[in-house]
A and B are shown apart, each in its own frame.
Chain A
Amino acid sequence: METFLKFGYLLLPEAIIIGSIVLLMLLDLFIPAKRSRRFFGWLALLAGLGASVALIWVWIIWKTHLDGRPIQYFDSAYLFDAVSLILKLFILLSLIFVFLLSLGNKQNSTGNSYQAEYYYLMLVALLGAWVLVSSADLITLFVGLELLSLASYILVGIRKEDQNAVEAAWKYVVLGGVASAFILYGMSFLYGMTGNTNLMEIYNSLQLSVQPEAILYIYLSFFLMLFGFGFKISAAPFHTWVADVYQGTTSAMAAFLATITKVAIFGFIVRLLLLSYLPLFYRNNWNHYLEWALMGIAILSMIVGNVLALRQTEAKRLMAYSGIAQIGYILVPLTLITLTQGMLFFRVTFFYFFAYILMVAGAFAVISQVTAQAGTGEIRAFAGLYRRNPLLAFAMSIFLISLAGFPLTAGFIGKFFLLTNAFMTKKGILLGVVMILTTILSYFYYFRFVRQMYFRQPDQPERIAIPWTLRIAITISLVGTIALALLPQLLLQLLQSLGL
């Protein structure tokens, strides 16, 4: 409690988000029903920008006045440290992209009655994601997880009149609920064996006072949670819902699920593993089992994602499967964390995540405009995009070859780091080889997409106009994708200065 009174101002960004949620909700309730709710998007964007200014201010204060040491609130249930700070920034950046996408596109609006809900529920989901990446207590973590999940269930199905959206929301609710149940079941074992919900206290009791008979239950708890998170992060073999949900919902919401949800859940797995489980896995030589389990998930995700993406004819489904493969790549350093002693783990992973957010947000921005204009989500809609809007086609090709990991893009540098991390260890060589082979496989579908844009005749010849909000989103992600490739040391130095 004293830390809260003393350092509470570091939670200013959270306070801004909570305040905006309450204000937007009350505003929605008390302005007449007939008034247009379109300006809610701008208010929510304003809240997001305000929170990012606050986040950067807090960062500077923390760096200069508190020497960047981690701060624990509420009996260390809530943390303020470098990992949470960086992940919060990533999540906020993704949300701003999602807002720009939603504002730019009529197709993404939900009819006047749910405009307001759409935007403040996005802020609620952001809050959940933030709690998820910054708490170190099982209960707080679960509250954060559900805050994020429940808000996204509603957001996926917010266009109630659209059959596909309803189906997507239904699938997402059922499978998401099952995943939450797995996670909660795992947590209950962990709590039962250690008698504590705080991750650091759990670490202590795992080190000192756990009965040998209880050890297996603790592993059971971890693997149960791994199941749940596999679902939520959409890694194979838990990936079956992803393509349907992306296809059924709006492009903005698909971008939301592809960036914010994945970053937040990944942050949680890392925290859980590093704060509580890893020493125990080491001590009992179970790190081999852990490696094999994570390696299986990573390899399967890479193979399944890339192979299934080959056959897709729908743009958002393609992005869904490519996202599964990307998660496979990102899981590589985590798989090897016990072998590399966590060396460069955060730097490599966070670099890739940043590149991933930029290219996925950019790609979805282009997809949302092109598919909205064509009235279909098929890749066919992109035929001859070069003739209809050369700049848009250029931007989309950069995002796609960045996702493919081709040189001169952020995706290439990120993948290069992942590979060097993998090749540091003997076991990682297998992963590295799978990664290279599946990457080559992925060239087929990414370049088929690019070929479609440049060498096919367009169905409709008229030019594609882009609203200026989308133009901002595309420009930022395009510049970011190229800048990150030319000057990767900027981000790396930033991460290094945070001690990651």
Chain B
Amino acid sequence: MNHNLLVITLFLVLGLALPIAAFTLSRFLRPDIPSVEKRLNYESGLAPQEGSWVQFHVRYYLFALLFVIFDVETAFLYPWAVVYDSLRSSMGLMILGEMVLFLFFLVLGLVYAWKKKVLEWK
């Protein structure tokens, strides 16, 4: 029991200490020669156009959500396609039916967004 508690305390302490130690250590170890380019925000290797504290239009998030629909679709479709043959022999056409059902519900989400005029940028 005591041993157990020790492990969990250690876990807690390590979880707190690691990020603090990492940031502090790297602060002392790294050479500190700032230049204008280095102080820029990192934008995938491109020079940033303006400040990063701009407001995004709320529609941006709606598009992001729509993107997730298709993202999830592929995340499930791909492994499904890989094991399709082996499952086909054990489950029959059920495996196809399940995926069709899944796609149907996803498309429903798209139809909803479409009819609610999310796809129009006004």
Residues on A lying within 8 angstroms of B by beta carbon are 1, 5, 22, 25-26, 29-30, 212-213, 215-217, 220
Partner of A216, one of B8, B112, B116: B8
Scan residues 60-81 of chain B and give those whose CB is less than 8 A from a CB of chain A.
Answer: none
CA gap between A375 and B7 in the complex, in Å: 58
6 CB contacts below 8 A, A to B, read: A26-B111, A30-B115, A215-B4, A216-B1, A216-B4, A220-B8
CA gap between A220 and B4 in the complex, in Å: 11
Residues of B within 8 A of A30 (CB): 115
Contact across chains for A213 and B112 when beta carbons are under 8 A apart:
no
The answer to the question of B3 belonging to the interface, with a C-beta cut-off of 8 Å to chain A, is yes
Residues of A within 8 A of B115 (CB): 29-30
Contact across chains for B94 and A29 when beta carbons are under 8 A apart:
no
A interface footprint on B12-50 (CB within 8 Å = 1, 0 otherwise): 000000000000000000000000000000000000000
CA gap between A220 and B108 in the complex, in Å: 40
Partner of A1, one of B8, B91, B111, B116: B91
Quote the shortest CB–CB distance from B19 to chain A (angstroms): 18
The chain B residue sitting closest to A22, CB to CB, is B108
Contact across chains for A217 and B8 when beta carbons are under 8 A apart:
yes
Partner of B111, one of A29, A215, A216: A29
Residues on B lying within 8 angstroms of A by beta carbon are 1, 3-5, 7-8, 91, 94, 108, 111-112, 115-116
Given contacts A22-B108, A220-B8, 10 further A-B pairs with CB under 8 A are A1-B94, A25-B112, A26-B108, A29-B111, A29-B112, A30-B115, A212-B4, A216-B1, A216-B7, A216-B8
The chain A residue sitting closest to B11, CB to CB, is A217
Q: Which of A212, A215, A216 has the most CB of B within 10 A?
A: A216
Contact across chains for B91 and A213 when beta carbons are under 8 A apart:
no
Given contact pairs A1-B91, A30-B115, A213 touches B4 in the complex (Cβ within 8 A): yes
CA gap between A216 and B1 in the complex, in Å: 8
Quote the shortest CB–CB distance from B94 to chain A (angstroms): 7
CA gap between A213 and B5 in the complex, in Å: 9
The chain A residue sitting closest to B90, CB to CB, is A1
Partner of A213, one of B7, B111, B116: B7
Residues of B within 8 A of A212 (CB): 4
CA gap between A29 and B117 in the complex, in Å: 11
Residues of A within 8 A of B91 (CB): 1
The chain A residue sitting closest to B114, CB to CB, is A29
Residues of A within 8 A of B108 (CB): 22, 25-26
CA gap between A79 and B7 in the complex, in Å: 37
Residues of B within 8 A of A216 (CB): 1, 4-5, 7-8
Quote the shortest CB–CB distance from B83 to chain A (angstroms): 14
The chain A residue sitting closest to B87, CB to CB, is A1
Residues of B within 8 A of A29 (CB): 111-112, 115-116
Quote the shortest CB–CB distance from A430 to chain B (angstroms): 26
CA gap between A373 and B44 in the complex, in Å: 59
The chain B residue sitting closest to A217, CB to CB, is B8
